[in-house]
Amino acid sequence: MNTSVIRYRVADFLKRYAPFDSVPESDLLTLASTGRVKFHESDEYIHRHGQKKTPFVWIIQQGRIELILDRNDDRQLLDVMGEGDILGLDRFIGDGDYKTSAVTTSDTILYAVTAQAFEELLANHPDVEQYFAAHFSLAASATGKTSWLDAPPPPIDFLQHRPVQPGPSLPENFTTRQAVQTLMTNRALAANVNGATLSASDLALFCNANPALLLHEIANSQSAAEMKPLLDLASRLVLNALARPADVDDCSRMATEFVAAATTACIRLAEKDAADSGLTPPSTRLAWFAYGTLARGELLRFVPPKVGVVFDDASNETSTQATIYGSVVAGRLADWLHQCGLTGPESLWPDGSHPCMPSSEWQQFFASTIANPIEYDVYARREFFDLRPLAGDEAFIDELQSWLSTQLKNSDLLVPLLANDSLGNLPPLTFFSGLVVSLDGTEHKDLDLIANALAPIADAARVFALAAGHKQINTLDRLAAIGGNEVFQDAAEAYRVALYQQAIAGSSRLDPAKLERLDQRLLKTAFTSVLRLLEHTTRKLINFE
C-alpha cells in the first residue's frame, strides 16, 4: 500500500483518541511518517521489565496487551491496555529502562512511532504533555477551566480607601483563596490587611462571589423557605469554584461550612419547635455534634449530615428529661433538614448507639469498642472517631475527645484490627473496553468511588492518625500530618481526584465508558496510589515492621 495512504490512515486513527485528538492533523501526519505498522500474535512480548529502552513508542490499533511485573517466577498483573492506549512511555522516566513487561494476549496491531517524534509532541502540545504526566503523577490533573477562587483579590491600595472594620487578620500579599478561607472559618464579614480592611462585599467585586455573606445568611435563617434557596446558591457557588482536583481542599472547606451552618440553624429551629410544644430544655450540659463526612470536612455535594447529641447524666431525673428533649429535637431536626433540601438515606446507627445518649453511655460505647473491637465491630463504628461540635456546649465534645484519646493509648488491638478492616475495600486494577477490571480480573459495569478509593484512603488515614495520636480529623490533614512519605502524598492526590470526580458526576458511581480518556488515566494512576497506601498500611500497622 502507498506509504502516504498509510500515514493518513494512522493519523485518522490517532485523532480519535486522547491526547492526539487535540493535535493538528499536520503534526499527526508528521508523527505517523516516522513509524511503522507491527503485527504480533498472542503471548508475544513487546518489551520486558528491565530492558533497555528502544527507539519506539507504540499505540495499540487493535488487540489486548497486559502490563506485568514478572520477576523471580512471580507474575503480577498491573494493567490491561487496548485500542488507542500508548505503550512504552516509561522509557522517558528514570534511567529509561522499562519498568514493566508488556505482553500480548490476542492478535495485536501496533503503530510504532519514534520516541523522538513523540517527544516533539510533548514539547509543543500541553494536552499531550498532560496526558503523559498523568501516567506517573496525579499532579497532572489540572484542566483548562478556571476557578473564581483564582481571581486576583482587591489590591492593598484599593482597600486603604475602604471603611475600617474589625475582623481576623490576613497577610499583606493574600490570595482570594486565603481570604475566603479566613472569612468563612471565622464566620466574619471583614478581615484586616496591614491596617486596611477587606470586606466580604469588596472581595465579591473582584471574584464575583460572596461566600462569607452567604454563610452568614444561612446561619441566621429563620425558615426552610429562606434557607433552601440559599443552600442551592451555595451549592452552585462551590461547584463553580471546583475547576480541578487541586480545588478540592478549598471547595470542601466551603461546602462543609455551608452544611454545618445550615445544620446548626436547623438545630436552633428544632429546639424552638420543642419549646413551642412546651418541652423545657434540660438544665444539664448538652452538645450536638457531627460525625462522618461533615465532621471530616470532606463535602462537595450537599448531603444530610450525620448528627448526634451527648448530655451530662448527673442525675436520673435530669438524664430522663435530657433523653426526651434530645430525642424530640433530633426528630424535628431531621424534618427541618429535609425541608431545607438536605435529603438522602437515613443514617444507620450501629448496635449499641442511637442519636441521643448521655456521656456515660457514649463513654461505654467507646470503651467497649476499644477493649473488644472484634465483638463490637470496630469497623462499623469507625466514623465515630471523627467528631465535630455543632451546637450547645461545644467544650463538652472537646472533653469527650480528650477522654477518648486517653483510652486509645491503652489499646494494643484496636489499631491493627482497624488497619486490617481498612483492607476490605480495594481499588480496581484498571479500565478496559468501558468496564472496570478488578484485581482478581472480574469485570464490572460501573466504578464505586467511595468503596474503591475514598473509603480505603479515609480509613487508612484514620488508623495512622489514631496510631500516632494525631488530632486531625480531615483525611487530607491526617495524611499531611503523618509525614513526608511519598505514599501518603500520592494518596492525598488520589483522594482529591476521586472527590473531584464524585462531585462533577453528582454520584459516587461512575460509568467508565462515559469518562474522558484523561480522567480514566488519572483514576488508573489513583488506583495505584490507593493500593500502595493499603500495602503500606499492612506493612506498618498489621505486620508490625
pLDDT, tens digit, 9 for 90 and up, residues 461-499: 999 999 988 889 999 999 999 877 899 999 999 999 999
C-alpha 234/C-alpha 256 separation (Å) is: 11
**Given a cut of 70, is residue 329 above it in pLDDT?**
yes
**Given a cut of 70, is residue 140 above it in pLDDT?**
no
Could you please report the per-residue DSSP string of 366-409? HHHHHH-TTTTTTTTTGGGG-EEEEEE-HHHHHHHHHHHHHHHT
Query: Are residues 242 and 224 part of one domain?
Result: yes
- pLDDT for position 3: 55
- Alpha carbon 8 to chain centroid distance? 42
Percent of the chain with pLDDT over 90: 72
Q: Which residue has the higher pLDDT, 316 or 361?
A: 361
Q: Does residue 55 form part of some domain?
A: yes
198 sits in which H/E element: strand 196-199
Buried b / exposed e along 441-460 (16+ C-beta atoms within 10 A): eeeeeebbbbbbbbbbbbbb
C-alpha 374/C-alpha 413 separation (Å) is: 9
Q: What is the CATH number of the domain that holds 294?
A: 3.30.460.10
Q: What's the chain's length in residues?
A: 545
C-alpha 351/C-alpha 72 separation (Å) is: 48
- pLDDT for position 545: 46
The backbone region for 400, taken as left when phi is positive above 0, alpha when psi lies in -120 to 50, beta otherwise, is: alpha
pLDDT (average), residues 223-248: 96
* Entry pTM: 0.90
Query: Are residues 277 and 128 part of one domain?
Result: no
Q: Does residue 234 form part of some domain?
A: yes
**Given a cut of 90, is residue 245 above it in pLDDT?**
yes
What's the number of domains the chain is made of?
3
270 sits in which H/E element: helix 248-276
Structural domain of residue 313, as residue ranges? 209-408
pLDDT (average), residues 162-173: 92
Per the CB < 8 A criterion, the answer to whether 19 and 125 are in contact is yes
Per the CB < 8 A criterion, the answer to whether 482 and 470 are in contact is yes
pLDDT (average), residues 248-262: 97
- Alpha carbon 346 to chain centroid distance? 22
Of 351, 383, 408, the one marking the end of a domain is: 408
Query: Are residues 361 and 452 part of one domain?
Result: no
Of 115, 133, 151, the one marking the end of a domain is: 133
What own/partner pairs with CB < 8 Å and gap ≥ 24 does 223-231 have?
Answer: 223/269, 224/336, 224/339, 224/340, 227/262, 227/265, 227/266, 227/340, 228/339, 228/340, 228/341, 231/258, 231/262, 231/302, 231/340, 231/341, 231/342
Q: Does residue 321 form part of some domain?
A: yes
Query: Are residues 515 and 382 part of one domain?
Result: no
Question: What are the pLDDT digits (tens) for 370-407?
Answer: 999 999 999 999 999 999 999 999 999 999 999 998 89
**Given a cut of 50, is residue 196 above it in pLDDT?**
yes
Which pLDDT band, with edges at 50, 70 and 90, does 143 fall under?
low
pLDDT (average), residues 299-328: 87
**Given a cut of 50, is residue 2 above it in pLDDT?**
no
Query: Are residues 318 and 247 part of one domain?
Result: yes
- Alpha carbon 42 to chain centroid distance? 39
**Given a cut of 80, is residue 347 above it in pLDDT?**
no
pLDDT (average), residues 292-317: 89
Query: Are residues 103 and 32 part of one domain?
Result: yes
- pLDDT for position 409: 85
pLDDT (average), residues 63-88: 88
Q: Which residue has the higher pLDDT, 319 or 212?
A: 212
Smallest Cα–Cα separation from 236: which of 205, 261, 210? 210
CB neighbour list of residue 216: distance below 8 Å, 6 or more residues apart: 187, 189
pLDDT (average), residues 449-464: 95
Which pLDDT band, with edges at 50, 70 and 90, does 144 fall under?
low
Q: Does residue 200 form part of some domain?
A: no
Query: Are residues 427 and 386 part of one domain?
Result: no
Mean pLDDT, all residues of the chain: 91
pLDDT (average), residues 137-156: 82
C-alpha 323/C-alpha 358 separation (Å) is: 8
Query: Are residues 495 and 420 part of one domain?
Result: yes
**Given a cut of 90, is residue 150 above it in pLDDT?**
yes
What is residue 208's three-state secondary structure? coil
- pLDDT for position 543: 59
Question: What are the pLDDT digits (tens) for 20-60?
Answer: 999 999 999 999 999 899 999 999 999 998 889 899 999 99
Set of cell numbers at residue 269: 429551629
**Given a cut of 70, is residue 453 above it in pLDDT?**
yes
The residue behind cell 489514631 is: 466
Q: Does residue 120 form part of some domain?
A: yes
Query: Are residues 347 and 436 part of one domain?
Result: no
The backbone region for 17, taken as left when phi is positive above 0, alpha when psi lies in -120 to 50, beta otherwise, is: beta
Percent of the chain with pLDDT over 70: 97
Query: Where are any strands of DSSP class E within 258-355?
Result: 286-291, 306-311
Residue 68: half-sphere exposure toward Cβ, Cα within 13 Å: 20
Q: Does residue 519 form part of some domain?
A: yes
Of 373, 408, 443, the one marking the end of a domain is: 408
C-alpha 169/C-alpha 183 separation (Å) is: 9
Q: Does residue 195 form part of some domain?
A: no
C-alpha 395/C-alpha 397 separation (Å) is: 5
Set of cell numbers at residue 337: 433538614
Q: What is the CATH number of the domain that holds 470?
A: 1.20.120
**Given a cut of 70, is residue 315 above it in pLDDT?**
no
Set of cell numbers at residue 288: 450536638
Is beta strand 190-193 parallel, antiparallel or unpaired with respect to 169-170?
Answer: parallel
Judged by average pLDDT, the poorest of 199-208, 357-366, 408-417 is: 408-417
pLDDT (average), residues 415-423: 90
509, 513, 514, 519: CA torsion to nearest 10? 80
**Given a cut of 80, is residue 412 above it in pLDDT?**
yes
Query: Are residues 403 and 450 part of one domain?
Result: no
Which pLDDT band, with edges at 50, 70 and 90, does 94 fall under?
confident
C-alpha 15/C-alpha 126 separation (Å) is: 16
Query: Are residues 390 and 452 part of one domain?
Result: no
pLDDT (average), residues 146-156: 94
Set of cell numbers at residue 394: 461545644
Q: Does residue 485 form part of some domain?
A: yes
> Apex CA 213: angle with CA 167 and CA 142, to 5°?
95
Q: What is the DSSP letter of 484?
A: S
Query: Are residues 458 and 378 part of one domain?
Result: no
What own/partner pairs with CB < 8 Å and gap ≥ 24 does 5-14 have?
Answer: 6/32, 6/37, 7/32, 7/33, 8/32, 10/35, 10/37, 10/111, 13/59, 13/61, 13/111, 14/59, 14/111
